[in-house]
Amino acid sequence: MSAKVNAPIIIKRKKVVVGGGHHGGAWKVAYADFVTAMMAFFMLLWMLNATTETQRKGLADYFAPTVAISRISGGGDGVFGGQDFFSEDMVILETLGTEAGADTGSPPNEDEAGDASAAAEVAALQQVEEILLGIGGESVLSEQEMRHVVTRLTDEGLTIELFALPGAPLFDRRSAEPLPITRQMLAVIARVSGIVPNPVAIGAHVAAQPIVLRHDPIWDMTAARAEAVRRTMIEAELDPARVRRVTGFGDRVPSSVVPPDVRNNRIEITLLREVK
């Protein structure tokens, strides 16, 4: 009996590890997400450096398509306001049918007629844009020429911008004489713009100079370049009566945030909207 009383008492302590300690997997998931995000970020940087501005615009249009709810849509009931994916084509057909005297049952009011005319005009300008950029087909411009071209459809009309690149100018240095590639692009634009009757506005811009000169030639130069563009397009069979204005903007409206950037040396040809 005395031996049992004097026996040592042994206490066993069990260590419980919560969450698996350093063997848990939660940090691995977070690390994998971080690596994936970094890879996507560097791929984005690579694409921005390896593509032209026109290609980037095409990628943006692919991920944010404007065909289903077009730039002429004003909204309405339902998903597409009562329209389908071919709304623009239907609007054009309806407009042509109305002009041909088709019996629609009731004469449209002035607002509806104006909306239909505006829709048809925008669709025609979009067709010009698609032909130039090769959207849905082959472009009328070469790959080398496409590097210099970007388009945008605004309330004023369709603006076709030709801009210089490092080592690839549009005009002879410090002159108003277009280079051969510029003449080729202007000839193509003159021919393609012939599918619409819209008036044409021409504007020339130059990059700011880092040195202030006593006699600043930028105003005379941009005016001369705009006039040279007008003459070149008329030689390529653009109707002279369509030219609404020819403007030299100097360096007052830069395209790049860096005023001396060569990207600011550019020509803007706008097919003006008549129905607004």
- For the chain, the structural domain boundaries read 50-272
Res 14: pLDDT = 66
DSSP state of 265: -
Residue type at 68 in one-letter notation? A
Res 34: pLDDT = 92
Residue 165: helix, strand or coil by DSSP?
A: strand
CA distance 140 to 137: 9
Q: Secondary structure of the chain: what % helix, strand, coil (to 5)?
A: 45, 15, 40
Res 24: pLDDT = 62
* Alpha-carbon separation of residue 137 from 66, 77, 131, 191 (angstroms): 18, 33, 8, 18
CA distance 245 to 201: 5
Res 202: pLDDT = 98
* Alpha-carbon separation of residue 56 from 50, 52, 62, 147 (angstroms): 10, 6, 10, 11
* Helical residues (DSSP H) of 100-217, grouped into ranges: 110-133, 143-146, 180-192
Res 116: pLDDT = 87
Res 19: pLDDT = 54
Res 239: pLDDT = 96
Dihedral sign, Cα of residue 152, residue 156, residue 162, residue 164: negative
* Helical residues (DSSP H) of the chain, grouped into ranges: 2-5, 26-50, 53-63, 87-99, 110-133, 143-146, 180-192, 218-235
> Which ranges of the chain have pLDDT less than 50?
67-102, 104
Res 28: pLDDT = 87
Give the pairing of strands 243-248 and 200-205: parallel
* Alpha-carbon separation of residue 32 from 22, 26, 27, 41, 44 (angstroms): 17, 10, 9, 14, 18
Q: What are φ and ψ of residue 126, in 5° steps? A: -65, -35
Q: Side-chain half-sphere of 13: how many Cα atoms within 13 Å?
A: 2
- The fourth-level CATH superfamily of domain 50-272 is OmpA-like domain (3.30.1330.60)
CB atoms under 10 Å from CB of 216, counted, come to 12
Dihedral sign, Cα of residue 155, residue 159, residue 164, residue 170: negative
pTM of the model: 0.61
166-176 burial: b if 16+ Cβ within 10 Å, else e: eeebbbeeeeb
